[in-house]
Structure formats: structure tokens, C-alpha cells
Amino acid sequence: MNKTYHKTVLRTIRSTLSRFLAIFAIVALGVGFLAGLLSSPVDMRFSADHYYDEADLYDIRILSTLGLTDSDLEEVRKLDEVEAVMPVHDSDFVLLSSEGDSYTTRMHSLPSDTGDGSADYLNRLTLVEGRLPEKAGECVVLLSKSIGQQHEWVGQTLTLDPDEEDLKDHVANTFTVVGTVKGPAYVSMEQEHTTAGSGKVGLLAYTADDSFTMDYYTGFYLSVRGAKDMNSFGSAYEDAVAAVTDQLETLGKDRSAIRYEQIVDDANAELDDAKEEYAEKKAEADQKLADAKQELDDGAQEIADGEKELKDAQSAIDNGQAELDSNRASYNTQIASARQQLNDGYAQIQNYQAQLDEGKKQLTDAQAQLTEGYSQLSDGDAQLEAAKAQLDATQQNLDGLDSGKEALWQTAASLGLPVSDTTDAGALAMIAQLQSLLGSGTELPIPPEQAAALVEQLSSLQGGLQALAEQGLDTVSARTQLEAGLAEYEKNLAAAQAARTQLDAQQKLLDDKSAELQSQQDTLNANRAELDANAAVLQQTIDSTEAQFSSAEAELADARAQYADGVQELADAKQKLADGQKEYEEKKAEAEEKLSDADEKIKDAEAQIRDIEEGEWYLFTRDDNVSFSSYDSNADKIAAIATVFPVFFFLVAALVALTTMTRMVEEERQQIGTLKALGYSSAKIAGKYLFYAAFASVTGSVFGLLVGMNLFPTIIISAYNIMYDIPKILTPFNFPYALFSSLAAIACTLAATLSACWAELREVPARLMLPKAPKAGKRIFLEYITPIWSRMKFTRKVTARNLIRYKKRFFMTVIGISGCTALLVTGFGIKDSISDIVSLQFNDLSKYQLTVGLKDPSALEGRDLQKILSDKERIKGSLAVMQNDGKIVPKKGDPADSITIFVPSDASALPDYFTFRHRTDDQPVAFDENSVIITEKLAERHHLKVGDTITVENQAETKASFTITDICENYVYHYLYLSQSAYEKAFGEKMEENALLCQLPVDGTPEDEDSLTTDLLKCRDVAGASFTTELSRSFGNTIASINYIVIVLIISAGALAFVVLYNLTNINITEREKEIATIKVLGFYDKEVSSYIYRETAALTIIGTAVGLVLGIFLHQFVIRTAEVDMVMFGRAIYAPSYLWAALLTLLFSLLVNLVMHRKLKKVSMVESMKAPE
């Protein structure tokens, strides 16, 4: 190639840089995406394999339920192909943290030498923190994706759960955490199952081997010579490992037979001891119970006797009471009559007394009269006396006065005085003479002394005489009066004397009467005394009788009290008896329970011994490692998605690249003619375009490969590292894929270029030099529909005509855009499909939440299990089923799929646990005794429909054929649903339940699940319990990762859409530059110019999008069918939002492109319009 020519090429690139870049970008995208996605699963596996090699992950793991011995170890080591063997003590048990958390732990032992040089240290741990355990009781905790995280472990002390009785003598009882690690055996998020604790391993730990004191190993990990050099996901590796497993299997048979004998013998001996002890204990218990029973019976008899006694006593008491009552009645009558008599007596006496008292009163009155009489008499006497005394005094006074007058008369006479008058007046005149003579002092012939006495005599006589005179009396009348008084006195005295005599006679009469009354009174008194005596006697009788009654009553009361005591005693005795009875029942139940526990234990032990079976060695390869196999299957899933999708993606890219090149060649027609005219050979001319194309596609491929093969695997593996712990992401350059995809891209572009050039170069230069006759405008059918056409603005008419005029461009654009939309629809659709599985399978189709695995159908009769199943608060309902692995006997060319033969114990109950329906029309599918239902994916893979015959093989390799009665919707695994009778008839063997499907209460918490598992695992012959929540969670995780990949797909599809739209719009503009320039000259504003062009792009985009949406449905179906793992059917539906998003994204990209293109349009120079057509 000469220099100028070279320049032309470079200049072409420069002048059409956007086109060049478009091809570059499209090729880069296509190649990068294809190669990147294709190598993603490869890189995933490579990264994992690299880690496994680095960490010396075991190739084979040997387990034996019987344990492995040192001699087993020796035998294994003898095999040539075995490179290293690590014997371990692995054990699952429950550990408790100091905070009381309970961890179902899988404890592994580490070899004594964990140095780098240790050949027998497999599954090497990577320290995260702290150090490895060095002595018994130290451990490190493995931080896996699902467990052990978010916890400060180092320094923690974990103690063995006291419930782990079987283990406490074989393993350290406390563990101190000295570090945290990561390990190759547990790289995934899936939880391991166990029969310990909660059924799920909640903690993974490694300890020094000394922590275990068992006399056997629980397992061997071994590595196969040369396996490290192979990819553990490859078939070479599988073969190498299989060769060793074959040998080990043979060895295992011998070794386990030896071990089995030893163990069964030991176990049987132990069991016999236990049985003997059981028999003894049972006899003892029976005896004790019988004794107790006897005692109770005696007690009951005693009580019966007592009751009788009491009854007698009661009747005696009743009799006594009756007698007493009648006695009291007659007594009361007698006493009453006696009382009456007495009272009558007393009444008579009273009467008499009254009469007497009346008499007495009369007497007393009479006496009083008498006494009055006497008193009057006495008063008369006193008067008489006083009258006498007065009479006497008057006599005396008269006598004195008479004597004084005599004396006076003598004296006067003596003295000489004449005594003429002897009356009282003459006496008083003499006294007054004398007294005057005596008073005159004249010497009287009488001595002086006689004179004084005389004076005195004279005064007293004067006084007397005067007093008498005053009464008008004188001494002589007074004497007559006195004489009359005396006579009266004498008369009164006689009358008084007569009254006295009368009174005395009356007194005498009265006294007689009184005496008579007194005698009557005496008689009455005597009568009264007699009555009183009678009353006293009666009272005495009453008192004594009352006393008798009282004592009788007291006696009765005593008897009653005794009786009451007796009743109380009897009640007590009865209570005691009842208590005793109850105690007896309790003791009996207890004893029976204990015995039945013991029996159960013995049965357990028997079952265990039975389960020991032949003592097989279980050989596990990495395929059996949960994380390994799930990682592998995830890689498969990516591989499945990564085939169709990027290929289609690539096809779209290639199509656009070749369109672009074709156009370019066509555009440069004139230049080709010129060059040809100048004498350049066709090859050379074509060379320019080929070079252009090759340059763009090769650089694009290289760039795409460099970026894509790093970017896509890294993103995808990173996404999967949400679930997996693959420390290093390795993206080795994958030559086959790189070559394949880049060569395909380059070849496509070059071929397109070549064919375009060929078409041009066939023409003679002269014609090439001429502008290609412009393609004639044509009427389109729309024009004939005048109502529409005449209403269209003709800028729209132009658009309509243009769309149809350039058919090739139209189709290319529509295909390009629809391809991108289809990719977007598919991307979103994959997301829908995969997300669907979980909710459809585990919520809609499965109506149970728990599967309990059974080792033996007899487990169903286990008492503990029955108890759990009958507790409706824990398990709402359960259905025993048989789920057996089987194989389909394929027709020619069909895959030999494994299936699950599913037989319910109760055909009518099955629909409660499964939703049988057709996916397409949601019609329910009936299940009965004659049903043979297979799942949809199985039918699809084997082209089976209702009425066809399916032949399957069960575990015993018995073949049986069935006529399919229906096909049901199902997403995970393949199932053949049969009724018990159908199964037994077809396979000629009994159905043996091996699983229980359980429905749980809706409001169960994870804690409930854990405790339920713990309890279930304690039941006899229960192999495991798995919750669908768990399954759905693990599926959910996978889906989360797949979602990342889908996002990658969507972004890539979006990028492609953008590039494609950009490129197509770009071409559109370039091709029509002159037209654009012309309308600009005509005075179209920028916006009008843009819309003139965009209307077309928009129409193409909308048509392309619409087509893409439809295309997407097919592509999605295709991708999904291709991507589906054998066992899984993805959801087949794409949801409306996905279409919407795909469409919106395409339109959005179109809009973006148009925004970019608006600037380009503005830049189109009007000078272009001056140019001659090319």
C-alpha cells in the first residue's frame, strides 16, 4: 500500500470518527459481553479451585457411623493414590455461651501439626484473628457467610450443654475461643444439617484433637495424588477421585464388616444387660404396686366396717332419744297433776286464811272498840280523879280559911278588939284593922317575933279570902258547893264502875272469840305446813327426775359427739384412702411411664442396633460438600444464562456493525469509482474498507476482551461472594472464548464489508463516478387512505415515506432496536422467572412448611412423635408420605432424569399439602387412587402428555409403567405422584413412609421452629427436619445473586441499546446531511430540523421497541428454557412492569441519543447543500 492510499484510510477514520467509534464500541460491547459472560462460570470455578488447592481441601471424606479405627487408617494410607489422610474427630453438639446463647456446633478436630509443612493437614484454615488451638479445650470459630458473623468470639468460653449426656465423657466440656478462621470446606451461605440440637449447624469450630477422648475416629479426610493439578469441577478430577472412591468402597466393605461385628456384639451385650435390668425393675415395680394395692383394699374394707358401726351407733342414739322424749312426756304429765293438787291445796288454805283474817279483823275492830271503851273509861277515871283532887284541894283551902278565921278571931279577941261580925267580910275588915294597928307602931302587948308571924298570917288569909270573894263565893257557899261536887263525884265514880264492868264482860267475850280464831289459825297453819311438806317432796322428785333426764341427755350428747367423731374419722379415712388411691395411680403411671421409657429406650437401642446395619463406609467427595456443589450449580446457572443471552447480544452487535460498514461502503461509492478509475485494483480498494473494518473490529475486540473478561467475571463472582467466601477472584485470560468471540465479530464485520465492496466494485468506474440514481420516491399505501393522508402534515408524510422507502435501513434499525429491547425484556424477564420460583413453589404449590425425615415407618408409632403431632399448637396437620428416589426409563434421545416417586399414605389428604394445578390455565388437578401425576418440567423434557405411558425405576431397580392421568405445575425437582395402592400394585412392594409433611401454625417464630426441630430430633427414628422456609431462604439467596447478574445483563443491554441507537441515528443523519442542509437553507429552525429527523428515529424506535417486546417474549422463553437446570423449572411469565421498563429504557436511550444528536444536527453546515450529490 502506498503512502497516499494509507493516508486516505487514516483520514477516512478521522473524518468518520464517530462511525469508527460506533463500530469499535459495538464490537467491544458484543465481544466483551460474550467472552466475559462465557468465561464467568469458568472463572468462578477457577477461582474456587485455586482457593481449594491453596487450602488443601479434601478430595474424599470417609465417614462411618461405626467410627474408624487406627487399623482403618493404616489400610487407607496403604493405597497408592492416596496422598494424605487426616483422621479427625468431628462431632455435632450443643454449646452454651456465657450469655446463655445455645449453639448447635459442628466441632472439628485439627491435626496436632498445623504447620505449613504438615502433609496431613487438609482443609487448611486461614486465621482471621487470634491463633489456632493448641491444647484440649481451645477452639477457633469459623466465620462463614451465614454463621459466626457479627460476634466478638475471641476470649469467649463455651460450655457443653448438660443435655449432651452421651458426649460429656468423650469431649472437652468447656471450650475457650482463641481465634477466628475461614476455611475451604464452608464457603457458602447454606446451612449444614445435623441431627443435634436445632437441626441446623449454628456454629462451626475447630479444636485441638486432644479435646476428643473417643477411642475411634469419626472420619478421614484424604487427598488424592495428582488431583490438585486438575480442576476440581472438571471430569478429569472426577474420574481421578472416582478411581480412589472405588477402591475405598471395596476396602470399606471389609473394614466396616470387622468394625460392625465388634460393635454389634458390644451393643447387644449392653442391650441384654439393659433388658435384664428392665425385667428386674419391672418385676420390682409390679410387686411394689401390688403391695400398695393390697394396702389400699384393706383400707377400703376398714372404712366399710367403720361405716356400718357408725350406722348402728346412729340408730342407738336415735332410740335413746325417742325413749328419753317419751319419758319426759309422761313425767311432765305427772308433775303437772301433782302441781295442780298442791296448787288446789294452797288455794283452799288461802281461802281459809282469808276467812280467818276476816274474823281476826273483826276481832281487832272489836278490840279497838273495847280499847276505846277502856280508854274512855280511863279518861273518865282521870277526870274523876282530877275532880276528886280538886274537891280535895277546895276542902283543904276551906278548912285553912276557916282555921285562919278562928285564929284571927282569937288574936283580935286577945288584943282586944271587939269581934262583931264573924262573916268573911267582918274577917277582912278585922284583918285590915289589925294590919293598920300593927303598922301604926303602937306598942302591942305581943312580943315583936309574934307580931311578924301575925302579919304573914294575916296576908295569906287575906289572899285566900279575896280569891274566894273574887269567885263570888265565900267560905260558906264554897262549902256547899264543895258538898255538891263531892256528891256528883260519888255518882260519876259509880257510873264509871258500872261501865268498867260491862267492858270487862265484853273483853271476856272478845278474848274467847280470839282464842277460837287462834285455834282455827293453828289448824290452818298445820294444813299449810303439810302442803309445804308435800310441795317440798314434789320439788325433790322433780329435781331428781330432771337430774336423771339431764344425765340421759348428756349421755346422748356424748354418743352423738362420738358419732360425729366417728363420721369425721371415717371421712379422714376415706380421704386418706383416696389420697392413697391417687398416689397409687400416680406411682403406677409413673412406674409405667418409667417402664415404658425404659422399654422405649430398649426399643431405641434395638432400633439403633438395627440401624447399625452392615456398617457401611460413607464416602463423600467434594460434590457432597454443600458449599462446593451449590457453588458448582450456581456456576451452571450462570453458564446457562450466559449462553443464549450474550449470543443474541452479540448477534445484535454484529448486525449493527455490519450495517454500519455496508452503509459506509455505499456512501463512498464515488470515491471507489475514482480509485478504480485511477487504476487501483479491486482488492486494493476493498482493502481500504476491509482495513477500516478490521481496524475497528480488532481494536474493539481487544478492548472488549480486556475489559469484558475482567469486568464481567469480577462482577458476577463478587455478586456470588454475597453467598460464597472465595477469597481471590481470578480472571485468567480465556483464549478459546476470546478467540471465538473476537474472531466471530471480526469475521462478521469483514464479511459485511467485503460483500458491500463486492457489490460496488462489480460496477464499472464510469457508473460509479456518477451519483447513484436517487432512489425514487414512492407512494405508500397510506396515501390511498385519503382521510388520513390528507390530514397528515407533510413533514409526517416525509417521515412515513422515508420509513418505507429505505426498507433495508428500516429493517436494520428495527432489528437493532428491537434486539436491544428484547435483551432488556429478557433481562427483566429472567429476574421475574427466577424470583417466581420461590414464591410459587414454596408458597403457592407446597402447602406444608416442614418435612420430617423418618428412618423407618415405625417411627410414626413413637410416643414422643405422636405427642408432638397431636399438639395442634405446634403442628396443625401432618401427612405421612413416601418420597423415594427413582429414575425415569427414557425413550431414545431423552435424558435419564432422576425423579422423586411420591406416594401419600392418604390420597385424599394430599391436595391439602400440594396445590395440584395446570400452570397455563390454573385449573386444579384432582388426585385420587388412580391418579398418575407427573410434573410439568418432566413432561416437557420427555415430551409426555396426558395419556402417554411413563416407565420408571425405583430404588430397588424395579421397573413399572404408568399411564399419565395429569400433568401439574411444579418448579423444583421432578415428581411422580402415585397413590399407595397404585404404587404397591405396580412395584409389588409395600409402601414405607419415610417422611412426614407438616403444616405449621401461621404465627410460628424461628424460635418455635428451632425448638420443634430439637424436639423432633429427639424422637425415635426421626432422621431430620427441614423447613421450607429454609429452602426458600437458600433459593432466595441464589436469586439475590442472580439478580446482580440480571442487572449486569440489563446494563449491558442498555449500553448496547444506546450504542446501537446512536449509531443508527448517526448513520441516518450522515446520509441525509444534504437534505438537512437544504431544509436549513429553506429556513427551518433548529428545532424543526431536529424534529424533522427525529420523527423518523422516534417512529423507528417505537416500532423497534414494540417488535422487541414481542421478540423479548420468545427470547426470554428460549433463554429460560436453556438456562433451566435439569431439576428446576423457572417461572415462564414476564410481568407487565418488566415490559414497561424495557420499553421505557429503550425510549430513554433513544431520547438520550437524540439529545446528543441535536448538537450534531446543529453543526450540519448549510454549505453541504451546495455540494454536488455524491
Partner 1 sequence: MSHFIEFEDVCKYYVMGENKITAADHISFFVEKGEFCIIVGPSGAGKTTVLNMLGGMDTCDEGRIVLDGNLISEYSQKQLTTYRRYDVGFVFQFYNLVQNLTALENVELASEICRDPLDARETLTGVGLGERLRNFPAQLSGGEQQRVAIARALAKNPKILLCDEPTGALDYNTGKAVLGLLQDTCRNTGRTVIVITHNSALTGMADRIIRIKSGKAVSNEVNLHPTPVEEIEW
The binding site for partner 1 (CB under 8 A) comprises 773-778, 793-795, 797-798, 801-802, 805, 1074-1075, 1077-1086, 1088, 1166-1167, 1169-1173
Q: What Å distances lie between residue 624 and 66, 370, 757, CA to CA?
A: 20, 158, 59
> What's the min distance (Å) between Cβ of 778 and partner 1?
7
Looking at the Cβ atoms of 985 and 1171, the one nearer to partner 1 is 1171
Contact 980, 905 (CB under 8 A): yes
Looking at the Cβ atoms of 801 and 876, the one nearer to partner 1 is 801
Spell out the residues 6+ positions from residue 714 whose beta carbon is closer than 8 angstroms to its own.
Answer: 729, 731
> What's the min distance (Å) between Cβ of 774 and partner 1?
5
Looking at the Cβ atoms of 225 and 797, the one nearer to partner 1 is 797
> What's the min distance (Å) between Cβ of 783 and partner 1?
10
Looking at the Cβ atoms of 554 and 1081, the one nearer to partner 1 is 1081
Q: Which of 416, 362, 833 is nearest to 641 (CA)?
A: 833
> What's the min distance (Å) between Cβ of 1071 and partner 1?
12
Q: Residue 179: enclosing H or E segment and its boundaries?
A: strand 174-182
Contact 1026, 846 (CB under 8 A): no
> What's the min distance (Å) between Cβ of 1088 and partner 1?
8
Q: Which of 603, 630, 709 is nearest to 275 (CA)?
A: 603
Q: Which of 634, 761, 457 is nearest to 1044 (CA)?
A: 634
Instruction: Report the C-alpha gap between 816 and 648 in whole angstroms.
Output: 11
Instruction: Report the C-alpha gap between 208 and 139 in whole angstroms.
Output: 7
Cell digits of residue 996:
412426614
Looking at the Cβ atoms of 781 and 1085, the one nearer to partner 1 is 1085
CA angle 1123, 1124, 1126 (to 5 degrees): 130
Contact 834, 638 (CB under 8 A): no
Cell digits of residue 790:
390528507
Q: Specify the length of the chain in residues.
A: 1174
Looking at the Cβ atoms of 792 and 1152, the one nearer to partner 1 is 792
User: Which amino acid is it at 654?
Assistant: A
> What's the min distance (Å) between Cβ of 798 and partner 1?
6
Looking at the Cβ atoms of 39 and 802, the one nearer to partner 1 is 802
Contact 1116, 1135 (CB under 8 A): no
Looking at the Cβ atoms of 348 and 1165, the one nearer to partner 1 is 1165
> What's the min distance (Å) between Cβ of 1063 and partner 1?
23
> What's the min distance (Å) between Cβ of 1091 and partner 1?
13
- Reduce the DSSP state of residue 886 to 3 states and report it: strand
> What's the min distance (Å) between Cβ of 1156 and partner 1?
20
Looking at the Cβ atoms of 124 and 801, the one nearer to partner 1 is 801
Looking at the Cβ atoms of 329 and 1167, the one nearer to partner 1 is 1167
> What's the min distance (Å) between Cβ of 773 and partner 1?
7
Instruction: Report the C-alpha gap between 531 and 18 in whole angstroms.
Output: 163
Looking at the Cβ atoms of 746 and 1076, the one nearer to partner 1 is 1076
> What's the min distance (Å) between Cβ of 14 and partner 1?
14
Instruction: Report the C-alpha gap between 432 and 417 in whole angstroms.
Output: 13
Strands (E), 981-1112: 995-999, 1022-1027
- Looking from the CA of 691 toward its CB, the CA atoms found within 13 Å total 16
Looking at the Cβ atoms of 77 and 801, the one nearer to partner 1 is 801
Looking at the Cβ atoms of 747 and 1166, the one nearer to partner 1 is 1166
Looking at the Cβ atoms of 98 and 790, the one nearer to partner 1 is 790
Q: Which residues pair with 924 in a beta bridge?
A: 917
Cell digits of residue 879:
401427612
Instruction: Report the C-alpha gap between 1106 and 1008 in whole angstroms.
Output: 51
Alpha helices (H) along 726-860: 735-761, 765-769, 786-789, 794-805, 807-839
User: Which amino acid is it at 98?
Assistant: S
Q: Pairing relation of β-strands 932-935 and 975-978?
A: antiparallel
Residue 818 CB neighbours (<10 A): 25
> What's the min distance (Å) between Cβ of 715 and partner 1?
46
Looking at the Cβ atoms of 789 and 1135, the one nearer to partner 1 is 789
> What's the min distance (Å) between Cβ of 671 and partner 1?
18
Phi-psi region of 373 (alpha: psi -120 to 50; beta: other; left: phi over 0): alpha
Spell out the residues 6+ positions from residue 832 whose beta carbon is closer than 8 angstroms to its own.
Answer: 1131, 1133, 1134, 1135, 1138
Instruction: Report the C-alpha gap between 754 and 746 in whole angstroms.
Output: 12
Looking at the Cβ atoms of 14 and 892, the one nearer to partner 1 is 14
Looking at the Cβ atoms of 740 and 806, the one nearer to partner 1 is 806
Looking at the Cβ atoms of 92 and 1075, the one nearer to partner 1 is 1075
> What's the min distance (Å) between Cβ of 1070 and partner 1?
16
- Looking from the CA of 209 toward its CB, the CA atoms found within 13 Å total 15
Contact 701, 747 (CB under 8 A): no
Q: Pairing relation of β-strands 126-130 and 174-182?
A: antiparallel
> What's the min distance (Å) between Cβ of 1165 and partner 1?
9
Instruction: Report the C-alpha gap between 850 and 877 in whole angstroms.
Output: 10
Q: What is the dihedral of CA 880, 885, 888, 893, to 10 degrees?
A: 140
Residue located via cell numbers 450495517 = 659
> What's the min distance (Å) between Cβ of 935 and partner 1?
58
Q: Which of 753, 652, 743, 662 is nearest to 702 (CA)?
A: 743
> What's the min distance (Å) between Cβ of 763 and partner 1?
19
Phi-psi region of 131 (alpha: psi -120 to 50; beta: other; left: phi over 0): beta
Cell digits of residue 65:
457411623
> What's the min distance (Å) between Cβ of 688 and partner 1?
24
CA pseudo-torsion sign 433, 439, 440, 445: positive
Q: Which residues pair with 426 in a beta bridge?
A: none
